[in-house]
Structures are given as structure tokens and as C-alpha cells.
Amino acid sequence: MDERRALAATAVRAVETADRARTNWTDADRAWASRAAAEVVGADAPPAQFVGRRAQLALERLAQRGHPVARLAGAWRWRGWVGSVIIAAAFVVGAAADAVGGVHRINVLHSPVLPLLVWNLAVYAVLAAGFVVRYGEPGAPGPLRRAVAWIAGVTRHPRGAAAADTDSAARALAAFATDWTARATPLYAARAARILHAAAAALALGVIAGLYVRGLVFEYRATWESTFLDAPAVRAILAAAYWPGARLLGVAVPDAAQIAAIRAPASENAALWLHLMAATLLMVVIVPRVALAAGVALVERHRAEHLSDDLGDPYFARLLRGFRPGTAQVRVVPYSYTAEPAALASLEALLARALGGNVALAVATPVAYGDEDMAARALDADARVPVIALFSATATPEPEAHGRFLEALAAHARPLVVVVDEAALNARWRDEPGKREERRALWSDATARQRVAPVFVDLLAPDADAAETALDAALDGSHA
């Protein structure tokens, strides 16, 4: 999933996970987002495309409602102009650097070139040492990288985000901030590194441009002066500093006698020195920095295009179960039990939450006790339609009856989910919680042979959060 879709998916996930009560983002909103995304991308689209498109649609609607998470997502979108401005500013600073001495004189020991060379060589050493220490693993961004990220808005909070008017919105903001920071930090570190490498190259290019432009309209004279250094020492320093440029140009750095001859107040035409400086900056700064920027750009691009690929997460698994146009059909097969209309309506609502879209129940005629082998008749031809085996918790599970019923369904139905309705049990033994635990243990043992975990829920007074979690786990396990 690319960066823009991953940002939207992370934001919407925070909202949908935090708003368990469906106050700000209702079941109808969630179903609409899934349905609309499925219709846009088509049934044959890759799962990541569906998830990303659904998130974008949902985030647009949340933004229309002024949800703080949508505002925060907008503030955290990368601003591409930041990199261009930083690189252009570096070039301007380099071109404007006029630390070349007095009036039209270049002090070959005191120019913007030597400090720039030393700084870049130090950066290369730090990068190499860090790479060896981390064995190529990405490290935490330094202060310069963090500054670039801050300028682009990574750490900005939209106005009014802190004043969330509901607890669910505040929880969503916190979850979004934590999740997105963890996901995006490696990407933004690579992006900041790419910009800083390009800016360093632009700075050196600006210095070269400034020197040559000034050299075209003025005659610069090269000289040097020092309190402590003599001509041989200065020659050794300049020979080491400008060796790359001298090799590129095929010329030699002037010898000690020539260096002594231009000691202040003497001087000479600075053309050779300008060429040496420019060629050295090209070899030591511009070429390596451009190469580093290109390499980091590849890393950045890969990370930006694969920012969120964990679609096996329970949240995304729920969304993908609802990846279908129209209404999801669910077959309910009760065993020796007739559910009340209110209980079936509650089951339909819970399944809609778990399946991530609109759900229509097709309730079969209850299978009578002793008629277990005929359970398969209640199933549809489409084996992909989820099947709910519905029991009442007041019944005592028997391997010869309930077990055979589940075997008959399991032979033809995948996914198969076992739901045990505790409404009648709670009404009868509400003050005896031990009785409910005993029944749950019996049902868990009875369904273990089919390798399914029963979902226990009072369909007349359901705990929606607990039921949704249990149904999620059951639906995931039923595909195994």
C-alpha cells in the first residue's frame, strides 16, 4: 500500500477501532465505505487496493464532518515542495557565500571550499560508521532529519485536534499518532536523508557558481597568509585538499616555491585555484552526494510504496471479509432451537460489524433432534457463504447429536461459525454465574472436535464489543 493510502488506512483504522460504540462513525458509515470501495475497484481488485480506496472514501467523509483525525491526517501529508525549497535555498546560500577574502582576493587557506570539504568528509565517516554499527539497519533520524520532517508537517497537529469533543475521538487521535509515527518514521528518515544529500550537493554547486560568476566580472587574485604556517606546510595542506581536483584536471598543485611566491601581500591570478576548487568540490561533494541521494531515493520509493502491507491484521481481515459488492449472505442453521426475531436481528447486526458490510441472514428451518445427518440440506450451493450453526446454551451438548450435526455442516460449509445463544440461560440462572461457566465449558469441549471455538453471546442483550471480537476470531479460524 502506498504512502497516501496507508496514511488514510491508518487514520480510518484508528477511528473505527476507537469508536467501538459507533457514535461518530456508525455501522451504516462503515457499510457504505466498504460497499462504495468494492463498487469502485471491482471484485477482482487486489485486497490492498480495496483497503486503500475504502480508507480514502471514509477519510473524505470524516473530513466533511470535521473529525479531528481527518484534520490530523491532512496535516501529516508529505509536502513535496519542502524538499525543493530546501535544495534551492542551499544553492542560493552557496552562491551567496562570499568568504573568499578581501577585495577581489581569494585566500586559498580561508575559502568556503575547505570547510565544506572537511564537513562532507566528516559526514561520510559518520555514515560509514553508522552503517557498520547497524549492519545496514535504519537508525533513528538525527536532528537535521527531524527538522526536515517537522517543516513538512510530520509533527504538526491540526488546530483544534487537542480539543476533541468525545473520548472516542481522543482515543482515535492517540492511536493514529502512535501508529502512523511508528509506520512512517523509516520512510521520513529516508526522505529527509535524500533531501539533505541533495541540498549538500546544491550548496557545493552554488559555491562553484558563485566563484565562477564573480571570476567572470572581476579579476580575483590568489594569496594566503598565516601566523603559524610556512610555505611547505601550506603546500602540504593544499596538495591534500585539492588532490581530487588536480587528478581530475590533470594538473599539479603549485609547489612550495610557488606557494611562497603568493604569500601576502603578493598574489597571482586565481584562475588555476578556482578550477582546483571547483573540480575538488565536484569529486568530493557533488558526485558522492548525488549518488547517496539517488540510493536513498530508491529506499524511500520502496518504503513509500510498501508502507502498510500487514493485511493479515484482524482489522484488515474483517474489512476483506466484506470485500464484495452488494449485501453479504449468511446462512443460519439452528439446531433444535427456534430463535426469537429480536435475537436474529441482533445476530445480523453483530455479523455486519464483524463482516464489515451489509449482511442478510437466511435462516433455515431448525434441524430437529435426531435428524442431524440432514443438516446439509439447509445449506446453499455456494460453499463460500458463511454458515452459522446456532445453538441454545440451555441445551446439553451431546456428541451423538450436536457433534454429528456439526460434522454434517463442516463437511459442506466453510467458513463455519458456532454461535451459542445464552439469552435463555441468563434469564433462567442470571444470579448463578457458575452455571454459565459450566455450560460454556461443556460447549467448548463439544466443539473442540471440529476445531472451532464457539461464540457465546446473549442475543437479546449482547455485549457488542466482546461479541465482535469473538466473531472476528471465529471467522478467521474458520478459514484455516
pLDDT recorded at residue 139: 56
Could you read off the pLDDT of 1-16 as tens digits, one per residue?
Answer: 889 999 999 999 999 8
Percentage of residues in the chain having pLDDT higher than 70: 86
When mean pLDDT is compared over 124-138, 219-233, 340-354, 418-432, the highest value belongs to 219-233
pLDDT recorded at residue 92: 94
Q: Which CATH code of 1.20.1070, 3.30.1180, 3.40.50, 1.10.10 fits the domain covering 327-478?
A: 3.40.50
* Coil vs helix vs strand at 268: strand
Phi-psi region of 254 (alpha: psi -120 to 50; beta: other; left: phi over 0): beta
Residue 382: pLDDT above 90?
A: no
* Coil vs helix vs strand at 446: helix
Parallel/antiparallel/unpaired status of strands 221-223 and 105-107: parallel
Could you read off the pLDDT of 387-435 as tens digits, one per residue?
Answer: 889 999 989 888 888 888 888 888 776 678 899 999 998 888 877 878 8
Average pLDDT over residues 235-260: 95
Residue 356: pLDDT above 90?
A: no
Worst-scoring range by mean pLDDT, 56-65, 185-194, 233-242, 471-480? Answer: 471-480
Buried/exposed code over 90-115 (b: 16+ C-beta within 10 A; e: otherwise): bbebbbebeebbeeebbbbbebbbbe
Could you read off the pLDDT of 132-151 as tens digits, one per residue?
Answer: 776 655 555 556 555 555 55
* Coil vs helix vs strand at 392: strand
Q: pTM for the full model?
A: 0.72
Confidence of residue 155 (pLDDT cuts 50, 70, 90): very low
Which is more confidently placed, 169 or 313? 169
Residue 156: pLDDT above 60?
A: no
Q: How far apart, in whole angstroms, are the C-alpha atoms of residue 5 and residue 53? A: 7
Strands of 328-334's sheet in order across: 359-363, 328-334, 387-392, 416-421, 455-457
Count CB atoms within 10 A of the CB of residue 187: 24
DSSP for 207-252 reads: HHHHHHHHHHHS--EEEB--SS--HHHHHHHHHHHTHHHHHHHT--
Let me know: does 272 contact 305? Beta carbons within 8 Å: no
**Residue with cell string 461479541:** 467
Count CB atoms within 10 A of the CB of residue 385: 16
- Number of helices (H) and strands (E) in the chain: give both, helices first: 19, 8
Average pLDDT over residues 171-183: 89
Average pLDDT over residues 340-348: 91
Which is more confidently placed, 474 or 252? 252
- Cα distances (Å, whole numbers) of residue 197 to 92, 191, 280: 16, 10, 17
Average pLDDT over residues 360-385: 76
Confidence of residue 160 (pLDDT cuts 50, 70, 90): very low
**Residue with cell string 427456534:** 338
Worst-scoring range by mean pLDDT, 91-105, 156-170, 216-230, 454-468? Answer: 156-170
Let me know: does 246 contact 276? Beta carbons within 8 Å: yes
Rounded-to-10 torsion of CA 425, 428, 432, 438: -30
pLDDT recorded at residue 161: 42
Going from N- to C-terminal start, the domains of the chain cover 81-305, 327-478
Let me know: does 223 contact 108? Beta carbons within 8 Å: yes
Residues in the chain: 480
Nearest to 193 by CA among 279, 299, 122, 88: 299
Average of per-residue pLDDT values in the chain: 84
Percentage of residues in the chain having pLDDT higher than 90: 39
Average pLDDT over residues 47-68: 92
Helix (H) or strand (E) holding 424: helix 423-428
Residue 478: pLDDT above 60?
A: no
Let me know: does 2 contact 307? Beta carbons within 8 Å: yes
